[in-house]
Structure 1
Amino acid sequence: MTTVDSAGDEIRGTAQGTAPVPLSVLDLVTVGAGRTASDALRTSVEMARLAEERGFHRYWVAEHHSMPGVASSSPAVILAHLAAHTTRIRLGSGGVMLPNHAPLVIAEQFGTLEALAPGRIDLGLGRAPGTDGATAAALRRTERLGEGADDFPQQLAELTRFLDDDFPPGHPYRRIHAVPGPVQATSPGGVQSPHRPPIWLLGSSGFSAQLAGMLGLPFAFAHHFSAHNTLPALDLYRESFRPSDVLDEPYALIGVSALATEDEKEARRQVRAAALNMLRLRMGRPGLVPTPEEAEAHEFSTAEEDFVASWIGNVVHGTPDAVRTGLDDLRKRTGADELMITANAHSGDVRLRSYALIADAYGFPTTSA
């Protein structure tokens, strides 16, 4: 089991520059129109390197399926690639959708990642499939003894046992081991103890918030697509929290969509293209992220304009100073212990520039020590 000191330090991090809380990055490995998945993955490497150099705390990738504009169907594979191109920044899943996978497989994948990048791996878990029903069925979710989102607590308990390699005597899995297993970490005093990736629970409603609180685990809320549920979910998490071997007090991270450009109008132009992409997704027509020019030429109906306005209203965007103000205000309203920023834009260059501008606005170092 990871100790309180080591897990707490890894989870909490340190505020960089003049940021009041740690800032991190969520990467959807976005594929823009006219680009390829290979282009998007190369951009991810550049973004992870930039995040490390500028002092962002952690870098997560999310699991999505059957979405042409999101090339993050295999978080463990991407994280292994990013681990090979970075040296310090924490890497993790935001998240792996547990109902899509056998717990043993996840334990093996993240045990391997921990062996590749000791002390740098986070395992964020979600209970949704991260896709539509037909794709979820193709992922074989319904063929494993009826397991699904409703069995999430049981799946989580099984996964935790595999990660800790501590099934009790008499359990049918007692002799099964996830290999690589817990790493034997050595303390400054020379004492060795098992170490494995910290588990985070992710959610956009109250279920995972309450479960994370009851288990004493860190909680990450998807504010970027469920803003109306943010405060109720965080309140429920804090009210439900019980101290554990991992945390002695609640730790809540929120994902927030944010985009900074030198010019406010350009920021809105870029965000409007991302909004069109989300509109198409909600209409069951997912595709590559459109260019700003395509969004400008699109004839929106009144209902579509209402959707776009509502969606853009939850994106912190504008000049670097405006984005900093918006992020700080959001932190104050929610009491979040960490902000994880996702930049939605057609161009990888625009996303890279946005993270650099946000780092500048907070006075992050040009090169992190």
Structure 2
Amino acid sequence: MVQQRLGPVTPRFGVFLVSGRFPGQVDGDVLRRSVAAAEAAERAGFDDVWFAEHHFMPYGVCPSALTLAAHVLGRTSRVEVGTAVSVLSTTHPVALAEQWAMLDAVSGGRLWLGVGRGGPWQDLEVFGTGLDRFETGFAESLDLLLAAATRETVRADGARFAFREVPMTPRPERRPKIVVACGGADSAAVRLAGERGLPLLLGMHHGDEQKAATVAAYGGAEAGHVSTVVCQVGEDAREAVRAALPGWLKDGFAAHVRFDGQPAKTRDPDEYTDHLCAIHPVGDAAYCVDRLRTSLRRTGVSHVIMFVEASGTPEGTYENIARIGAEVLPALRAAH
């Protein structure tokens, strides 16, 4: 089945929270920081807040983006909340659809569902879904999720999911706001999302040129794609990011364990930090406004979510959110 494409939209600006454990931090404190940051984002005037999901690594200590999203939906009243992403290689699509329908109903439609294929990590072994589900099962999982989230009943007769017709409870009240995480322009996820009429979630490791190429391969920006960027505001923003980010990245990269036991490919943390600073709005407020305006124009993507935790501290994260809300968002919105 195909979801109806979204039309042109007013620019939206959100916060992207990875819940990364920087060196010396405690997991519970990190999660509480994420909740406080989400509440700060609502106060600062952001349109939405998105949570990442990871298992067994300090790169991100939130194992269920949907659970954290549910908590934040209950603590906020206006801001919309998304998952970036719920991993379909380790999650049953019907269970995910049930949870989405419940949270969509009680939040008044404030939940976005970002989904992705995930990686070939040990998660596949721990949760029993296996490597084949990751390598060849994403399309079947996505189609089953769409069916379960848009119909009163659902059944399956596929290679990985087969069951008799069952009623969806609670019944979906509205069409889901689903976005699909993808790699580059040649990613199979881009083709799949385009065939299903679903917007893309573009990662922060790519710059404007690569994102524009991915949007072109999809078939255009009118679908309402979401672009992830690093945004750090301050006269010493680059210095602050370069001081904190490599330590987190080093621990996170080292913690990736592949399903097949082979060493995971890693990047040099310092070089990757410099790359992120070069392609994203990291600098004073005027620079960030100009960089984001340029990115909106070059990519055609009008929904941007910002990684705001690059300082590595709760205080730095909250201050960054407040400064973006006060010094960056008004200038961006004034242009529209």
Decide: shared fold, TM above 0.5: yes
Q: What is the aligned partner in structure 2 of residue 259 from structure 1?
A: 232
1:167, distance to aligned residue in structure 2 (A): 5.3
Q: What is the aligned partner in structure 2 of residue 182 from structure 1?
A: 172
1:36, distance to aligned residue in structure 2 (A): 1.9
- The answer to whether 1:46 aligns with 2:11 is no
Q: What is the aligned partner in structure 1 of residue 246 from structure 2?
A: 275
Q: What one-letter code is carried by the residue in structure 2 that aligns with 1:226?
A: H
Alignment of 1:274-313 (within 5 A): 274-282=245-253, 284-285=254-255, 305-313=270-278
- The answer to whether 1:346 aligns with 2:312 is yes
Q: Secondary structure at the match of 2:165?
A: coil
1:202, distance to aligned residue in structure 2 (A): 1.4
C-alpha separation in 2, matches of 1:170 and 1:99:
17
Q: Secondary structure at the match of 2:214?
A: helix
Q: For residues 355 and 104 of structure 1, do their structure 2 counterparts lie closer, same or farther at Cα, with a shift above 3 Å needed? A: same
Q: What is the aligned partner in structure 2 of residue 246 from structure 1?
A: none
Q: Which has the larger radius of gyration?
A: 1
- The answer to whether 1:123 aligns with 2:113 is yes
- The unaligned stretches of length 5 or more in structure 2 are 257-267, 332-336
Q: What one-letter code is carried by the residue in structure 2 that aligns with 1:327?
A: L
- Indicate the percent of aligned positions where both proteins have the same amino acid: 21
Q: Secondary structure at the match of 1:30?
A: coil
Q: What one-letter code is carried by the residue in structure 2 that aligns with 1:141?
A: T
Q: For residues 90 and 275 of structure 1, do their structure 2 counterparts lie closer, same or farther at Cα, with a shift above 3 Å needed? A: same
Q: For residues 142 and 30 of structure 1, do their structure 2 counterparts lie closer, same or farther at Cα, with a shift above 3 Å needed? A: same
1:277, distance to aligned residue in structure 2 (A): 2.3
Q: What is the aligned partner in structure 2 of residue 220 from structure 1?
A: 201
Alignment of 1:115-194 (within 5 A): 115-129=105-119, 133-142=121-130, 146-166=132-152, 173=163, 175-183=165-173
- The answer to whether 1:33 aligns with 2:23 is yes
- The unaligned stretches of length 5 or more in structure 1 are 15-20, 184-194, 242-248, 287-302
Alpha-carbon RMSD across the aligned residues, in angstroms, is 2.9
- The answer to whether 1:59 aligns with 2:49 is yes
Q: What one-letter code is carried by the residue in structure 2 that aligns with 1:268?
A: E
Q: What is the aligned partner in structure 2 of residue 357 from structure 1?
A: 323
Q: What is the aligned partner in structure 1 of residue 92 from structure 2?
A: 102
Alignment of 1:309-328 (within 5 A): 309-328=274-293
1:307, distance to aligned residue in structure 2 (A): 4.3
Q: Secondary structure at the match of 2:166?
A: coil
Q: For residues 321 and 153 of structure 1, do their structure 2 counterparts lie closer, same or farther at Cα, with a shift above 3 Å needed? A: same
Q: Secondary structure at the match of 1:175?
A: strand
